[in-house]
């Protein structure tokens, strides 16, 4: 889930993280009402469609206050550590990645319909 985002943003943004953060906020300001996505949902639905760091930073705006904060923390940590892949992120930013992903979800059980009455 995180591999695409990490490979994209951290290879491109490592040198200009401060400028990119500022440009992202100027170009794509947070919505007034806030977003509705968790950090993991931001990664799955928005980051996966991005091809540049400004887009990734703009994705943060789609999150709830908590989701946005977690997403920004993941991006900032990867930029600080010049990460260009998921392995780097998991090594250098384990707390941020784990917080963003949220707790492990148990596998969904199939819904079994009761037999029709006879």
Measured CA to CA in angstroms, residue 105 lies from 30, 44, 102, 113 at distances of 29, 15, 9, 23
Q: Where are the domains of the chain?
A: 3-101
**Model confidence, pTM:** 0.65
Cβ-count burial 28-62 (b if 16+ within 10 Å, e if not): eeeeeeebebbbbbbbeebbeebeebbbbbbbbbb
Q: Which residue has the higher pLDDT, 25 or 60?
A: 60
In the chain, the percentage of residues whose pLDDT exceeds 90 is 37
- Asked whether residue 31 carries a pLDDT value surpassing 70, the answer given is no
Task: Scan for tokens 């889930």, then name that residue.
Answer: 1
Give me the pLDDT at residue 81, please: 95
Structure tokens given for 15 = 């040198």
Model pLDDT for residues 45-72, shown as the tens digit of each residue: 998 888 787 888 899 999 999 999 999 9
């Amino acid at each position: 889930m995180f591999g695409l985002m990490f490979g994209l943003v951290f290879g491109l943004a490592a040198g200009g993280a401060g400028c990119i953060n500022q440009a992202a906020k100027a170009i794509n300001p947070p919505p007034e009402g806030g977003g509705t996505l968790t950090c993991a949902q931001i990664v799955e639905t928005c980051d996966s469609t991005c091809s540049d760091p400004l887009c990734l930073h703009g994705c943060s705006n789609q999150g709830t206050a908590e989701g946005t904060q977690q997403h920004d923390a993941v991006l900032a940590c990867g930029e600080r550590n010049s990460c260009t892949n998921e392995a780097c992120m998991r090594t250098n930013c384990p707390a941020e990645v784990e917080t963003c992903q949220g707790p492990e979800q148990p596998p969904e059980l199939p819904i079994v319909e009761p037999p029709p009455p006879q």
